[in-house]
Structure 1
Amino acid sequence: MVVNIPALISIIIFYVAIFIVGIVAGRKSARKTTTDEMYLASRNKGMCIAFFTITATMVGGGYINGTAEMMAASGLVNSLAPVGYSLSMLIAGVMYAPTMRRNNCVTAFDMYQRKYGRRVGGLLFFPQLCGDIFWTAAILSALGTTVALILDISDTLAIIVSAFVAVIYTFLGGLVAVAYTDVIQLLCMTFGLFLAFPFAMHHPAVDLSRVSDTWIGHLDTRDLGSDIDTWLLLVLGGIPWQVYYQRMFACKTTKITRVATTFAVGFCVVLTIPSAVIGVIGKAADWNQTSYEGLVPLPKSKYNAILPMVLNYLCPLPVAVIGLGAVAAAVMSSTDSCVLSTGTVFAKNIYTDVFRQQASVREQIWVLRIAIVITGIIATVLAIAVTTIYVLCSDLLYIVLFPQLTCVLWFRPSNTYGSLMAYIFALVIRVASGEPLLGIPAALKFPMYDDTLGQQFPFRTVTMLISFAIITGVSVLTNCLFKRGILPLKYDVFRCIEKESVRFEKMQDVMNNPQGEMTQNKQEATALKNGEETQML
């Protein structure tokens, strides 16, 4: 193996630049370090920074590599992820985030804990934890593949260095450092991707007429059920992702949240264009005319590396290096987002709200930093060891957290009993449905099940709807049983009826003392009233 020295030097310069920006931003944040500064950058982000950081959070290494892979393997009509995830972020930014922002949430899990209790609300952190860790592992793995091809160095080394840089500046500066580095990363990503594909397109080995009839792809009616399931998973499964809300809650106003998210979604779609074109170019290339020495035509197992292959074999070296910088920027922008998201929820909603409600600011910040480091280490190890384990975690966000978040915001009768029962049943049904990539056999076989292809019925969506039905049904039933005295209140172990009565009394306090001095009780009641009015919109 001969290391590509010029390319290696260039990528080191890029990493050092990102590291310096993160450290400088981190030191700026450290002068006024508070939990609000670390978690949400003091809720002070204007339109420009909000746009950059929301976009960079979405467009990661998995996003651009995955788009190229699907375009090469299955064509345009099967490349669902960019549009699906973009719609997901748009719905989250326009509908969900403003609702929680007006309720002064630090994380999305604040809503669960306020309504369902600290411990049950904290239990919902598990699907989010899996999603963040395994998604981070997947995008770090994508970077390792790219670097190994272009620089001729170990992909393990590339994964470790990238994770180290992202974790260190996130450790020091929290969301402030992440937001400023997102600006640099998004600019590098945009320039690198749009620079690379015209060079690749004009390489002598590329003849686009070879794919003129196949680049659009086709839909197999036999896969219609699983395609619908996947599409809804992409659109609705991304809505409860905390990594979005951390940026959206950091905006100065809810208006900025909505507008910045809308522009970010548009730009995310724009950034899929070069990745999609690169996928088509990779499919149209005659690899025998390049220095590539592997199997020709490319086996589908190689399509996951189509983007780095196009950069390496169809672009001049300087362009390939710049393209590599774009991939590295995309990876780090998503890595820092995920580790910060996990650290924030653990420090705020688990450690402080559940175990140490009297924790000092300094203690919370150090718990956040330790959680960031541990999350980064776990994701790095998984990125080196495995490549497919993150698949199941997207399902958990869809079937568990999407119904939970929707009900806690807009279904007022929902209570802890309904939430907990839905959580348990959704997990059991999903595991029983099987997952071939993880070697889990299907104990529960839905209609249209195929012994070779597995579940062809939209079983994830059915599980999600069952989860919705359990939350609403069990909540209404238990409320009715306790309020009508069919079940004595002593059996209300989660004190749902008592909590509802307290909320009502606090609102009455506001209504009966409109001119009096604002007491703490009235402050809480006002916030509660605003929250309930928001839920009714």
Structure 2
Amino acid sequence: MALNIAGVVAVMVFYLLILGTGMWAAKKAKKAERTRTGDKTEVALLGDRNISLLIGIFTMTATWVGGGFILGLAEAVYTPKMGLVWALMPLQYSVSFIIGGLFFAKPMREQRYITMLDPFQIKYGKVMSGALVLPALMVDVLWVSCTLLSLGVTMSVILDLPFVYSVWISAAVAIVYTLLGGLYSVAYTDVIQLTLIFVSLWLCVPFLLLNSSSLNIVHTAFNHTFQEPWLGSLEKDMVWRWIDDFLMLGLGSLSFQCFHQRTLSASSSRTAQLTCFAAACMIAILGIPPVLVGAVAVSTDWNQTLYGSPSPCERGDQTMVLPLTLQYLTPSFISVIGIGAVAAAVMSSTDSALLSSTSVFSLNIYKNMLRPQASENEIKWVIRITVVVVGVLGTSITFLSNSVLFLWLLGADLSYTLIFPQLVSVLFFKVTNIYGAAVGYVAGLLMRVLLGDKALGLPVVLHLPGGTLEDGVHVQTFAVRTFSMLFTLTTILITSALAVLLFDLRLLPERWDVRKQPGNVVPRDLKEEPGRDNNQRTSVLLEPILQNRS
């Protein structure tokens, strides 16, 4: 197949449009910096806490509707023994946003944190918060890899553009406009990207449903034709694993810095909550087209297409089912439009992951731990360098895996089992202290490793109820990740309460009580002060950490 010149030109036009929007947003960011009287870092990382409801809905939704979301959904629906019953990411993320809006958005926004890790840094100090930074950074790097992998796969199939070129060009575009305007560029480009995703995906649907090589998807939903029904099935011994996957994506997403970056950038606490609720509806709607793509692929006699026999499933090409379906079951101009949807989705998630990891590193590691005396200009350069380093690292990892779903689930696993219980405890349980957090972190990580994971190559050492043998290897069927998460949370709370009791009874020397050392006590709650411009001030909560800025 020759290089699709028209498709390449269309993608380049899209990239130029995104770059132009990013440059326009960068000018808006610089204007905000010039008028800012306090902490200018909030302009780059949080859009000066002035993101409106409409823009917030677009950027929140676009962040989650990435390449991994689109290709992962289609892959899950198409893969035998999975199907729609295992492809509930739109519903899971909707639940995540609703819970986030009800319980997390308001307290985080009212405290005017800059990153998700600020409450850890304030309450626990540098060492413990540093340990929590590592999995948070790893999640974002894996997210960059996941999204770029999905785009590289799609472009290589439809445009016949070499995978390596597709990935590096796309990464370069995302890095450049993220460098230019920070969250302003990310948020405003998300508006264009989400619009393109919505229009492009739904435009492809009629052509897919009406193509002559596929049977009616209603028939194949319940009947075995070319392969198992695309609705999938849930066997009795897999119920706990299904619950585990649902909770991992439904709750684990709340411990992503990307989520909190959007709520913290909202113009008010109320706006942050409404953003979550509206995004919950939007993401459910945008999950329908990729599900239909997977259903059509299951219903297709691939021998009647130019792809030929055997089918993608028999060749082990489930990862590429979305681009293959667009390429062989729709007219060429429609498949190019589908490329635009995937490219837009990738950009919207990649830039968010880049900015998320940059926020955590530049503030929680560099500024707060390594160089508290760093100037405003120095932090700017750290932000720029971090964007490039994370972009290059995430892009490089793309070449180590060929499964979008694998990278996506690995990042979600880390977030759910390690970070989520720590975030819940530090925000909602006053008894929590550094002793409980430290023991919970180590014990939770050890427990997750002992429970094993076939996909990661970790042997099962601790057997939970149930389990099966697959190719001679024991595989857990219990809710392994949820068990690990609850074990971590319980350990944090019990150890924290025990530490308080031992110190109160003076069974431990007072000099060991690091809770009373400066920097490990939560400052006073920040209240909105009447008569004062709350958008133009520096976060009082973080002043002890962010002092000495020029």
Using the size of structure 1 for normalisation, the TM-score is 0.91
Structure 2: gaps (5+ residues): 34-39, 223-228, 543-550
Offset at residue 127 of structure 1 (A) = 1.2
Instruction: Call closer, same or farther: CA 1:438–1:212 in 2, change over 3 Å.
Output: closer
Structure 1: gaps (5+ residues): 511-517, 529-537
Task: Tell me if 1:97 matches 2:105.
Answer: yes
Task: Tell me if 1:376 matches 2:372.
Answer: no
Partner of 1:462: 483
Aligned-partner SS, 1:336: helix
Amino acid at match of 1:47: L
1:68 to 63, 74, 78: 74
Mapped contact 2:141–2:394 kept (Cα < 8 A): yes
Mapped contact 1:479–1:497 kept (Cα < 8 A): no
2:46 to 35, 40, 44: 40
Instruction: Call closer, same or farther: CA 1:500–1:479 in 2, change over 3 Å.
Output: farther
Q: Deviations over 1:156-195 (max 9, x none)?
A: 1111111110011101110000011100100110010000
Partner of 2:411: 393
Amino acid at match of 1:26: A
2:301 to 281, 286, 311: 286
Instruction: Call closer, same or farther: CA 1:527–1:109 in 2, change over 3 Å.
Output: closer
Amino acid at match of 2:430: R
Partner of 2:210: 202
Task: Tell me if 1:50 matches 2:56.
Answer: yes
2:503 to 465, 482, 492: 482
**What is the distance in 2 between the residues matched to 1:169 and 1:265?**
27
Task: Tell me if 1:264 matches 2:279.
Answer: yes
Partner of 1:425: 443
Q: Deviations over 1:410-454 (max 9, x none)?
A: 100100000011001111111222222232222222232333261
Count of residue pairs brought into register by the alignment: 512
> Quick check: 478-487 or 237-246, which moved more?
478-487
2:220 to 211, 217, 220: 211
Aligned-partner SS, 2:287: helix
Offset at residue 393 of structure 1 (A) = 3.1
Partner of 2:226: none
Q: Deviations over 1:40-59 (max 9, x none)?
A: 00000111111111110111
> Quick check: 427-436 or 158-167, which moved more?
427-436
Mapped contact 1:30–1:172 kept (Cα < 8 A): no
**What is the distance in 2 between the residues matched to 1:61 and 1:500?**
40
**What is the distance in 2 between the residues matched to 1:118 and 1:296?**
53
Partner of 2:493: 472
1:443 to 458, 461, 470: 461
> Quick check: 80-89 or 328-337, which moved more?
80-89
> Quick check: 407-416 or 385-394, which moved more?
385-394
Partner of 2:548: none
Q: Deviations over 1:269-319 (max 9, x none)?
A: 000111111111111111122111352373272222121112111111111
Instruction: Call closer, same or farther: CA 1:389–1:443 in 2, change over 3 Å.
Output: farther
Offset at residue 407 of structure 1 (A) = 0.7
Aligned-partner SS, 2:475: coil
Using the size of structure 2 for normalisation, the TM-score is 0.89
Instruction: Call closer, same or farther: CA 1:249–1:227 in 2, change over 3 Å.
Output: same
Higher fraction of helix: 1
> Quick check: 26-35 or 264-273, which moved more?
26-35
Partner of 1:192: 200
Partner of 1:299: 314
Offset at residue 2 of structure 1 (A) = 1.3
Instruction: Call closer, same or farther: CA 1:93–1:444 in 2, change over 3 Å.
Output: same
Aligned-partner SS, 1:451: strand
Q: How does 1:229-378 map to 2 (within 5 A)?
A: 229-296=244-311, 298-299=313-314, 301-378=316-393
Partner of 2:23: 23
Offset at residue 75 of structure 1 (A) = 2.6
Aligned-partner SS, 2:174: helix
Partner of 1:532: none
Partner of 1:491: 512
**What is the distance in 1 between the residues matched to 2:353 and 2:257?**
9
**What is the distance in 2 between the residues matched to 1:502 and 1:208?**
62
Q: How does 1:5-24 map to 2 (within 5 A)?
A: 5-24=5-24
**What is the distance in 2 between the residues matched to 1:10 and 1:392?**
33
